[in-house]
Structure 1
């Protein structure tokens, strides 16, 4: 898709990946509107506007309507927001689970619900959703997060097929572990102990922009993670065995008390 001179709403633009996306999208000539809960305190580059958006709010649909009434020239939306928690399921509070459901999945569904008719009427537009490798591979310590990201992947797949006869693009990008402040120390230590690669956020942002430029419908970032995604779909027992071997190490950090 063409990025130059088109305005995108970036949801989650104050996180590690989102901050990198701002600079890279501007370099492509895109115009940006960054949604955050506290736009007045967000440090945004000159020429980038901020708007208030609370993804967990009951009135999210009305907030989205207010944005598009003010900014009717939006061409696309990049949903890059997310919450996660590294904990055993029995240690997850109801509010933790509800928060991940609201931010990671419900908000994405409401974004699609709001923008699909708008983009269809405008004869074109783009919906870009940033998921996770854990949206294809269930992983210990991330049951709620995986459930929401599996749901997000399913949403994009169904939506893409539903809109196949329209000019609306649906793009799903799934990063592997990324080195951002969202990860607690226990997760960084776990990835180091297991030898898992962690990508810098600027590299992930570059992959997202590349997927947009190429109209790449699905983009899974990282090797061998892309292989594991395929194996998990066709031979899940192989992935079961690999993760079971890791389980003692995972439990060590899961129960370390550093994860929250």
Structure 2
């Protein structure tokens, strides 16, 4: 995929992975329409156009219509917005559940539904979705997040096959644990207790760009996480047993009032 002289709509760029994508995208010669609930947090600079967009809103389709009319030169989308909540299912509020499903999954479908017909008319376009290792491996404390990311992975796979006879590109990138402000302290301490590696957002951004430049269909990040993804697909009982051993540690961090 060529990045130079293309205009990408970047979703989820006020923090973490999305923010880390801005500099390398600009360096590659791309222009960015950066959408956020808080566009005032995005620095005005050459090649960057901050816009307001509420991915979790009921009227997202109408917002996309207005944005698309204002920026008719968009020929690529990078969806790396996301929400998570590390909590047992019984303790999760309905608002938290809705937010994760709406932002992580529903918005991705609506964004693709909006741009695919437009890209098909022009004969070119790219859709990049940032998922998660937890889109392939269910993990305790992330039931809603896993559901949304499993859905996102399935959606991108189906969409890519639906568009296989077109020039449109659909790319799915699945990072492992990443050091972002989205993670509460309990999650950082859990990863440390389990010995889980955490990548810097800049490293993940570099891997996303590599997948785009190499026209990859999917890229899973991290080792041994990539191995676990394969094992979970063919021998899920092995992963079940491994997580059962980790469950007492996980439960400690699911209950902040308990000593950790």
Tell me whether the two structures share a fold, i.e. TM-score over 0.5: yes
CA distance change for structure 1 residues 81 and 257 in 2, over 3 Å: closer, same or farther?
A: farther
Question: In the aligned structure 2, how far is the partner of 1:26 from the partner of 1:41?
Answer: 18
Question: In the aligned structure 2, how far is the partner of 1:60 from the partner of 1:257?
Answer: 38
Unaligned segments of structure 1, at least 5 residues: none
1:89-118 Cα offsets, whole Å, 9 max, x none, are 000000000000100000000011001100
Secondary structure in structure 1 of the residue aligned to 2:109? helix
Secondary structure in structure 2 of the residue aligned to 1:170? strand
- Does residue 244 of the first structure (1) align with residue 244 of the second (2)? yes
| 1:17–1:201 Cα contact (<8 Å) kept | yes
Q: Which residue of 1 aligns with 2:158?
A: 158
Question: In the aligned structure 2, how far is the partner of 1:170 from the partner of 1:11?
Answer: 16
Question: In the aligned structure 2, how far is the partner of 1:184 from the partner of 1:22?
Answer: 24
TM-score (norm 1): 0.97
| 2:26–2:47 Cα contact (<8 Å) kept | no
RMSD: 1.0
Q: Which residue of 1 aligns with 2:182?
A: 182
Unaligned segments of structure 2, at least 5 residues: none
What is the correspondence of 1:45-84 to structure 2 with a 5 Å cutoff? 45-84=45-84
Question: In the aligned structure 1, how far is the partner of 2:65 from the partner of 2:59?
Answer: 10
Secondary structure in structure 2 of the residue aligned to 1:74? coil
Q: Which residue of 2 aligns with 1:33?
A: 33
List, as ranges, runs of 4+ consecutive aligned residues in structure 1 with deviation greater than 4 Å.
none
1:123 Cα offset (Å):
0.3
